[in-house]
Amino acid sequence: MKLTIHNSSIVLVMLATIPTTATLSSTTTTSRAPHHVTQTANWSSNTISSFNGQILGFEGSLDFDGVELFRHTQVAFERGFIHGLVGPNGSGKTSLVRALPHLPLFPERGSFCWEYIAADVEDDTTSLKTDCSARDYCLNRIQKRVQEIDHEIGRMEVQLETESNDTSIEEISTRLGELYELKEDIELQASTQLVEMFQQLNFGEKYPEQPYGQLSSGWKFKCQLIAGLLTQPDCLIIDEPSFLDTTATAWLVDQLKHLAHSPNTSNKAIVILISHKEALLDEVCDRILYLNPASKNLTMYNCSFREFQVAHADRVAHAKKAKELSAEARDDAKDSLQQLRQQLHKREQNFRATTFKDHDKRWIKGKNKEAKQNADHSAASKLKRLKKKADELAEQEEELRETKVCPLKLEGAAPSDGVLVEFSDVDFHFEGARDMLLEYVDVQIKSEDRILLQGENGQGKTTLSKLIMGELEPTHGTIRRNLPVVAHFHQEALRELMDDYGKSNALDFLLTKNPKFTMVQARTYAGRFGLKGNIALRPIRTLSAGQRVRLWLAREFLGDSKPSMLVLDEVTENLDKETTDSLLKALEEFPAAIVAISHDDYFAEKFQETQLWIVGNARVQVEYK
C-alpha cells in the first residue's frame, strides 16, 4: 500500500485486488474479533485489510446488518498516532471498528493484539466471573493476553523446526525473541504497574479487593482501561471513554500519549479514540477520521481536532458558496439561451425581408437553420458544462452536509407546591461494608428544582440517586418521598437495551412497553424522539449509542401519567454536541424536577441548575444558584 498526505487529508492507496462481496459474522470472541466483544452482528463487505507492521489499512465499502456504513473508501491507521474517529450519532463509528477485525487479511490475534474497550459491551472475563475482585479482573485479562502470546510462541517454534530457508529462520528467531521479551515485560508490569495504576486512579485500599460486579460504572471502566493498557496492545480502541472523573481523564490522556508516542519505536501502538468530548479529542489526537452519514464517506485529516473543525467548516462553507454561484451561472445560461433563440428568430425574419424575391428560398431556409443549430448547440453545451459543474458541487455539499438533529420534547408534570423528596439525617452503607458511603445527609427536592450532582468516581452519586427514587433505603435516618412517577436514565440503560432487546427494533420495543399503541401511534411517538423512517425498523443492536439514548428516554415517557421527576445518570456520555444541545433545550423546557449526574464539562456548563450537589468524603455539600 502507499500512503499519501495531501494538505490536511490522508489518502491511502491500497495496491491490492478487492475481493467479491463477503458476509462476515461475529457471535463471540474469535482470533480476529475485537477482544471481549460478545455482540452478535453481520457485516457485508467488499473491503480488504492490510498490515505491513506499521500501517493498518483497509479499502472498500461496508454494510452492517443491511445498513450501509460507508461507500468505497481507503483509510490508514498508523503506529505512533492517536486517531480520533468522529461523526454524528448514528454515523456508524462503533460498527466500523467492531467490523474491522473480521475483514479478509486482518492480522491474526496471536501476532497482533487488538484491544477494544467500551462501557456498553460486556466482556467475557466479566460475564464468566462477576464476583472476582477488581484486581483479579485486571489480572485475568492480562493472563489471557499472556496465554495468547504463549500460543503464538508455540506455533512459531513448530514453524522454526520445519523451516529450511536461512532468511526465514532468522526472521522467525527474531520474532520469537520479541515475543519472549514482550511476555516477560507484560508479566513484570502486572506485578508492579497494576498497583501503581490503582493508586494513580485513587482506588485506595478497598476498591481493588471489591467484587468487580458491584463497582460503579466509573470504577468498572477504569479497570477495563488498566487491563487494556497493561496488555501492551498493538492497537487500542477506546469507544466513548465513559463515567470518568477529572482525575481519571487526565490520567487517560497521559497513558494514551505514552502508548502511541513511546520513545521505543517497536512498542508504539495504533490508538483509535471514539469520542464526542471535544476537549479530550483536541488534547490527544494527532489525526481525525470523519465519518459523514450523509455521504457515507470517510475522510482522514492530518491535524488536531481544533484544526479539523476549522478545515471542515471551511470546506462546508466553500462548497455551499460554490454551489450557489454555480446555480446562478446556470440560471444565467438559461436566460442567455432564450435570448439567443429570440435573436435568431428576429435575424431570420429580417433576412427573409431583405433578400431578393427570386433568391433560392431553400438556400435561405438552410442557412438560417444551420445558424440556429450552431447557436443552440453552443448555448446547450455551455449549459451542460455548467450543469455538470453544479451537480459535482452538489455532491460535494452532500458529502460535507451536517446531519440535522431532531429536537427533543420531554413532557413532565406541572409544578406543584410541597416537597417531592426530603432526607433527614440520612446515613447509608452497603451490606458488609465497614465504612459509611454517605452520612449526615439533609437535603430536599421541590418540583421546580434543577439539581446537578457531581463528585469523583465512587463517592456515592449513583447511590444517592437510588435513595432519592426509593431503589435503596437508608441505613439510618428517614427519607420522605412524594414521587408518583419518575423517569430515569441509568448508567446500565444502553447495555440493558443491547442485552435484552438487541434483536428487536425500536417500534416493537415501544409496542411491548405500551400494548395500547397502534403501529401508527408507535411510529409517530418514536419520531418525536428522532427515531424516524428506517431507523425505527432497524434492530436495536445496530443503533448508535446516541440513538439508544433517545429510545430509552422514549420508553421512560411512555406512560399516561407525566413524571414529576427526571433522573439522568451520565446521559450525555454517548451523545454528540448537537444531540446534547437538543437535550439541554428539552431540559430547559421540562416543567418538573430534574436530578442530573454528570462528569461532562460541556453539559455541566450549559445545564441551568438551581442547586449544585457535590458528593465527597461521605458528605453532600449543597450550593444554591
Distances (CA, A) of 314 to 6, 145, 309, 318: 16, 45, 9, 6
H or E element: which one contains 486? strand 486-489
Query: Would 40-107+234-302 and 419-624 be classified into the same CATH topology?
Result: yes
User: What distance in Å separates the CA atoms of residue 261 and residue 141, rounded to the nearest whole number?
Assistant: 24
Q: What is the pLDDT of residues 256-302, one digit of tens each?
A: 999 999 877 667 999 999 999 999 999 999 999 999 887 788 889 99
d(Cα 68, Cα 85) in Å, to the nearest integer?
A: 17
pLDDT of residue 163: 84
Instruction: For 502-514, give the DSSP string.
Output: TTSBHHHHHHHH-
Looking at residue 29, what is its pLDDT? 35
Residue (of 280, 242, 287, 238) closest to 261 by Cα position: 287
The tally of CA atoms less than 13 A away on the side-chain side of residue 109 is 22
Closest CA to 217 of 597, 607, 617: 597
Identify the CATH number of the domain defined by range 40-107+234-302: 3.40.50.300
Task: Tell me how far apart the alpha carbons of residues 194 and 188 are, in angstroms, rounded to a whole number.
Answer: 10
Neighbouring C-beta atoms of residue 20, cutoff 10 Å = 5
Q: Which helix (H) or strand (E) holds 476?
A: strand 476-481
Between helix 545-556 and helix 506-513 the angle, nearest 10°, is: 20
The pLDDT of residue 145 is above 70: yes
- Sequence ranges of the domains in the chain: 40-107+234-302, 129-231, 305-349+371-404, 419-624
- Name the residue with higher pLDDT: 298 or 335: 298
| Confidence label for 162 from pLDDT (cuts 50, 70 and 90) | confident
Residue 365 has pLDDT above 60, yes or no: no
Q: Is the pLDDT of residue 373 over 60?
A: no
Residue 96 pLDDT greater than 60, yes or no: yes
CB-CB neighbours of 403 under 10 Å: 16
* Element (DSSP H or E) covering residue 219: helix 217-230
Q: Report which secondary-structure segment, H or E, holds 283.
A: helix 278-284
Q: Which residue has the higher pLDDT, 327 or 538?
A: 538
Query: Model-level pTM?
Result: 0.79
pLDDT tens digits along 15-49: 333 333 444 444 333 333 444 444 445 555 577 88
Within 8 A by CB and 6+ apart from 522, the residues are 507, 510, 511, 514
C-alpha grid cell, residue 445 = 427536592
* Pairwise pLDDT comparison (390 vs 109), residue with the higher score: 109
Supply the pLDDT for residue 401: 54
Q: Which amino acid is at 564?
A: S
Q: Evaluate if residue 63 carries a pLDDT over 70.
A: yes
3-state helix, strand, coil in the chain (%, to 5): 45, 20, 30
CATH number 3.50.50.60 given to 419-624: no
Q: Is the pLDDT score of 584 beyond 90?
A: yes
pLDDT of 434 = 83
pLDDT of residue 334: 61
Comparison of pLDDT for 251 and 546, the residue scoring more: 251
Residue, of 459 and 18, whose pLDDT is higher: 459
